[in-house]
Amino acid sequence: MPDTQRTVSTGKQILSKQPSTRLGYRHLAAVTLVGTYVVMLLGAYTSAIGAGLSCPDWPTCYGTWVPFLQPDIVANSPYSALQIFAEWAHRGLAMIVGFLILGTAIAAWRTHRDSPLVVWSATLAIVLLPIQVLLGGLTVTRDLQPFIVTTHLGVATLILLGLTITTVVAWIRAQN
């Protein structure tokens, strides 16, 4: 059943299709796409303010998940609170977005099997995600090695491309 509502008028039966306002797969895909874009922007900001190593370890930051709970960590760091926050937030948001990408891929297989474009573009994103997380970790542990930083950007772009296809096709299908 397409994602539409049918309205029937009295007398002559007129069927008109209107896009449903119900929350559906296309909304999940759109939120995931926008979230991924925000993670990328935050990553670029982190890089631009020289904060790539402001959390010097990985996956924790100064050996803790929330460094701001221990004020001496921030006070004794050679990096500013803003720099530490940018890198920490980039990681944290990436984790949330990671779950969204997982949900988008699982839901694609459950609800859009008849659309290879939706299924395979969402699958591309979820397959690339662990590689991207690993590259993010290596970005830190290998001291911002240019090849790793560049590959981290390249894989992010491919994930965004996959999610863009997922979202656009899901919205087009909902109109039909």
For residue 53, which phi and psi values (nearest 5 degrees)? Answer: -110, 20
**Could you say whether residue 90 binds ligand HEM (CB under 6 A)?**
yes
In the bound complex, what is the minimum distance in angstroms from residue 79's beta carbon to ligand HEM? 12
Would you call 90 a catalytic residue per the annotation?
no
**Could you say whether residue 153 binds ligand HEM (CB under 6 A)?**
yes
> With respect to ligand HEM, which residue has the nearer C-beta, 59 or 116?
59
Read off the tokens for 131: 């590689």
Question: Which part of the chain contacts ligand HEM (CB under 6 A), choosing from 17-25, 62-70, 87-95, 161-169?
Answer: 87-95
77 CB neighbour count, 10 Å cutoff: 17
96 CB neighbour count, 10 Å cutoff: 11
Selecting among 32, 35, 61, 87, the annotated active-site residue is: 87
The whole-angstrom distance between residue 23's C-alpha and the CA centroid of its chain comes to: 19
Q: How far apart are the C-alpha atoms of 40 and 93, rounded to whole Å?
A: 10
Q: How far apart are the C-alpha atoms of 32 and 74, rounded to whole Å?
A: 32
**Could you say whether residue 148 binds ligand HEM (CB under 6 A)?**
no
| Residue from 58, 73, 81, 111 binding ligand HEM (CB under 6 A) | 58
**Site size with ligand HEM, rule: CB under 6 A:** 27
| Residue from 25, 29, 107, 136 binding ligand HEM (CB under 6 A) | 136
Instruction: Give the residue carrying structure tokens 């701001």.
Output: 68
69-76, long-range: CB < 8 A, 24+ apart: none
Q: Which residues are catalytic?
A: 87
In the complex, the residues that contact ligand HEM under the rule CB under 6 A are 36, 39-40, 43-44, 46-47, 52, 58, 87, 90-91, 94, 97-98, 132-133, 136-137, 139-140, 144, 149, 152-153, 156, 159
